[in-house]
């Protein structure tokens, strides 16, 4: 859990920027616990961090990839439109569940996203050019790695339409937090109550840390109260 710099922060927020600031003060485990407490689906296992060690948190832009030919519109490379639409600190979320072994993210996209101020990418699919992402300290979370290009294999189906990442439906404007522990999504309609629950959980864990440092035995600190912390 993070150090509790958020303690004392006014729980009321009036815009997405405030939500992102509060989300950045937490970690994926606190938000996962908050989702458990509120019975909201949002945790997606199996998306390890392949580049950078920085935690990312922000609003989501979505890209869905598929197979077949694009429509007659002017050709463009996958994810390029989403990068141009993104605001600083946004996070790109890419669905590539076609079964085709092909990268859904690469080095040129990484540089373009970095220059745009995008915080990172979460891909339910394979990515490539990971060394370039590491050189740019650009956080990448993905199913795995490949050298195979997307060209001639997969195409972009939609931008900022709902995608499925693991078992979770993710929409444009939702929120995500991702770090070395995992990736968690938060529906935009639930962000306020999830943040409030996450802040309460993190504050209680901070009190437990303080008690341990003061010499309290761990059996007492992690007793009944901790086990029941996620009860509604």
Q: DSSP string covering the chain, please?
A: ----TTTT--S---SHHHHHHHHHTS-HHHHHHHHHHHT---EE-S--EEE-S--EEEEEEEEEEESS---SSPP--TTHHHHHHPPTT-EEEEE--SS---BS--HHHHHHHHHHT--EEEEEEEE--HHHHHHTT--EEEEEE----STTT-EEEEESS-EEETTEEE-TT-EEEEETTEEEEE-GGGHHHHHHHHHHHHHHHHHHHHHHHTT--HHHHTSHHHHTTT--
pLDDT confidence of residue 222: 85
pLDDT confidence of residue 2: 43
pLDDT confidence of residue 221: 86
Instruction: Please tell me the distance from the alpha carbon of residue 17 to that of residue 175, in angstroms, as a whole number.
Output: 11
Instruction: Please tell me the distance from the alpha carbon of residue 200 to that of residue 116, in angstroms, as a whole number.
Output: 34
pTM: 0.89
Structure confidence at residue 70 as a pLDDT band (50, 70, 90): low
- Residue 76 above 80 pLDDT? no
Spatial CB neighbours of 149, under 8 Å, sequence gap ≥ 6: 102, 103, 106, 128
Domains of the chain: 47-183 (3.50.30.40)
Tokens of residue 221, six digits: 């600190």
Model confidence over 180-209: pLDDT tens digits? Answer: 999 999 999 999 999 999 999 999 999 999
- Residue 14 above 60 pLDDT? no
The listed range with the strongest mean pLDDT (14-18, 183-187, 217-221) is 183-187
pLDDT confidence of residue 225: 65
pLDDT confidence of residue 121: 98
Model confidence over 107-163: pLDDT tens digits? Answer: 999 999 999 999 999 999 999 999 999 999 999 999 999 999 999 999 999 999 999
Structure confidence at residue 71 as a pLDDT band (50, 70, 90): low
pLDDT confidence of residue 16: 75
Instruction: Please tell me the distance from the alpha carbon of residue 58 to that of residue 188, in angstroms, as a whole number.
Output: 11
Structure confidence at residue 3 as a pLDDT band (50, 70, 90): very low
- Residue 7 above 90 pLDDT? no
């Amino acid at each position: 859990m993070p150090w509790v710099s958020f303690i004392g922060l006014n729980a009321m927020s009036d815009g997405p920027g405030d939500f992102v600031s509060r989300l950045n003060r937490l970690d994926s485990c606190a938000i996962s616990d908050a989702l458990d407490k509120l019975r909201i689906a949002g945790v997606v296992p199996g998306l390890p961090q392949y580049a950078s060690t920085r935690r990312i948190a922000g609003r989501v832009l979505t890209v869905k990839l598929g197979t077949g030919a694009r429509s007659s519109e002017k050709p463009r490379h996958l994810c390029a439109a989403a990068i141009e639409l993104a605001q600083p600190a946004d996070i790109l979320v890419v669905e590539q569940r076609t079964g085709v072994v092909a990268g859904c993210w690469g080095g040129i996209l990484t540089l373009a996203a970095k220059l745009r101020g995008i915080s990172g990418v979460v891909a339910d699919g394979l990515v490539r050019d990971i060394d370039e992402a590491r050189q740019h300290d650009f956080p990448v979370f993905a199913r795995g790695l490949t050298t195979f290009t997307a060209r001639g294999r997969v195409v972009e189906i939609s931008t900022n339409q709902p995608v499925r990442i693991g078992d979770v439906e993710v929409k444009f404007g939702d929120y995500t937090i991702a770090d070395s522990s995992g990736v968690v999504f938060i529906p935009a309609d639930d962000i306020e109550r999830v943040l409030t629950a996450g802040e309460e959980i993190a504050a209680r864990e901070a009190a437990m840390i303080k008690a341990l440092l003061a010499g309290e035995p761990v059996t007492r600190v992690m007793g009944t109260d901790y086990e029941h912390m996620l009860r509604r």
